[in-house]
Amino acid sequence: MDRIHRQDGSDLLTRTVAPGVALGGLIIGLGLALKGPLDAVSHSEEAVNKDLAADRTGTWNTITAVWSQIGNTAGVIAVCIVVSSLLLWRTRDLRLALVAPIAIAMQGLIFLIAAKVVDRDRPQVEKLDASPPTASYPSGHVGASTGLYFAFALLALGIERAWLRWTTVILCLAMPLLVAFSRLYRGMHHVTDVGAGVINGAICALLAYGWYRHCTRRRQGTRAASARSAGHTG
C-alpha cells in the first residue's frame, strides 16, 4: 500500500485546505448578506417553506423523514467509514480512500463556523424534525450528504463498466437532492440554506478529488522518470 508522503501533505494544504478557507469566507459572506442587504430574499423565500408546509401529507412526511436521515451526521460518517475502508481494501490506495473523509471533514468545519457566525433563524413554519443546536444557515445535512456522495460520484468515474459507472454516479448525485428536498419540506431550512449546503459540499468534494488526482499524476510522473533513468543506465 502506498503511503502518504510529505509532498502529499503539502499539496493537501495548498490545493485543498487553502481554497477551503476561501470557500468558507464566501459561504459566511453570503450568509451575512442574507441577514443584511439581501434581507428581502430571506423574506421572499419563506413562501417556499409555507407552500410546502401547506401541502404536507402523512405519506410524504414519512418519506421525507427517511430521506432526511441520509444527511444525518452519524449516518454520513458511518457510510464514509464503511465505503472508504472498502476502497482501501480493494485498491490499496490510501489517497483514494481519503477523498471522501477529507471532503466531509472540510465541509463540516466550514458549516460549523458559518452557522456560528451567521446565526440565521430557521423558517417560520411548523418543523417536523427536532432542531439541532446549530442555526439554519447553511444546511449541515445537505452539505454533509453532498460532500460524501459527490465525492463517491467522482471516484465512480473510474469504474470500467459503463453501466455500473453511470448507475453509481446517478445514484450518488440523487442522494443529496433527496436530502435537500426533505429539509425544505420538513421546515428545517430556507432555499438559500440548502443552496449554500450544496455549494459547500460539492466544492469540498472537488477539492479533495483534485488533490487525489494531482498526487496520482505526480507519482506516475516520478515513476516514469525513474523508469527512463533506469533504462538509460542499463
Per-residue pLDDT of the chain (234 residues; tens, 9 = 90+): 556 677 888 889 999 999 999 999 999 999 999 988 988 888 889 999 999 999 999 999 999 999 999 999 899 999 999 999 999 999 899 999 999 999 999 999 999 999 999 999 999 999 998 877 778 999 999 999 999 999 999 999 989 999 999 999 999 999 999 999 999 999 999 999 999 999 999 999 999 999 999 888 877 766 655 556 655 555
What are the cell numbers at 42? 430571506
* Site of grid cell 501533505: 9
Domains of the chain by residue range: 6-222
Q: For domain 6-222, which architecture applies?
A: Orthogonal Bundle (1.10)
- Cα 149 from Cα 70, distance rounded (Å): 10
pTM: 0.90
Q: What residues have CB less than 8 Å from 80, skipping those under 6 apart?
A: 100, 101, 104, 148
- Confirm if 179 and 127 have CB atoms less than 8 A apart: no
> Where are the extended beta strands (E) located within 9-74?
none
CB atoms within 10 A of CB 215: 22
What are the cell numbers at 160? 470500467
